[in-house]
Amino acid sequence: MLSEKMWNALNEQIKWEFESSYLYLGMAAWLNDNAYPGFAHWMREQAKEEQGHAMKIYGYVEERGNRVELLPIAAPKKTWESPHEVIEQSLKHEEMVTGLINRLVDLSQEEKDHATFAFLQWFVKEQVEEEDTFRKVLDELKLVKPTCSAMLFIDRHMGKRSGD
């Protein structure tokens, strides 16, 4: 069984993972509505990945003999100025999630919960990958003007993302 502190923290992280998914779906809806179908597809795939993260923690909580308690999630923002702003805000969001994962790791050490510490190492590595991925997309977007044909090229490229 998990300690009460660890159990509460993992339930909170499940909420954040689902909230991330919901945010990315909101971004996908805006991108699709603004004629960026490739970016929209990419963000839908990102939303699925975040759902997978939530379910991974969900399964772990159950595996440890605890009940999952789903917490309310906030409605996402509905509009952005550009795909550049979407990706920029996504990177900031992932950096915030990295901080949450790091706090979970710290708590697992404080609680001397070696199993949870080991479980969370996958998420530590995943957050490095998440931030790197968004940073690379943002770097590409910084190289082009939002009205040029390069945006169409990037949009098509983003649309080729397959399920992770």
Whether residue 94 is contained in a domain is answered as yes
Q: What is the pTM of this model?
A: 0.93
Q: Per residue in 104-118, pLDDT tens? A: 999 999 999 999 999
C-alpha–C-alpha distance, residues 48 and 18, integer Å: 10
Q: What is the mean pLDDT of the chain?
A: 95
Averaged over 26-54, what is the pLDDT?
Answer: 97
Whether residue 127 is contained in a domain is answered as yes
Whether residue 96 is contained in a domain is answered as yes
- Checking if the pLDDT of 164 tops 60, the result is no
In the DSSP assignment, the letter for residue 74 is P
pLDDT of the residue at 71: 98
C-alpha–C-alpha distance, residues 101 and 91, integer Å: 15
- Checking if the pLDDT of 146 tops 90, the result is no
Please, which residues have CB within 8 angstroms of residue 1's CB and are 6 or more apart in sequence?
A: 64, 65, 66
Which of 162, 158, 161, 163 lies closest to 137, judged by CA? 158
Whether residue 130 is contained in a domain is answered as yes
DSSP letters, 77-133, are P---S-HHHHHHHHHHHHHHHHHHHHHHHHHHHHTT-HHHHHHHHHHHHHHHHHHHH
| pLDDT band at 161; cut points 50, 70, 90 | confident
DSSP three-state, residue 70 = coil
Question: Residue 134: phi, psi to the nearest 5?
Answer: -65, -40
Whether residue 163 is contained in a domain is answered as no
Whether residue 122 is contained in a domain is answered as yes
Please count the structural domains in the chain. 1
Domain span at 11:
4-158
Whether residue 16 is contained in a domain is answered as yes
Whether residue 164 is contained in a domain is answered as no
| pLDDT band at 149; cut points 50, 70, 90 | confident
pLDDT of the residue at 147: 63
Q: What is the CATH number of the domain that holds 19?
A: 1.20.1260.10
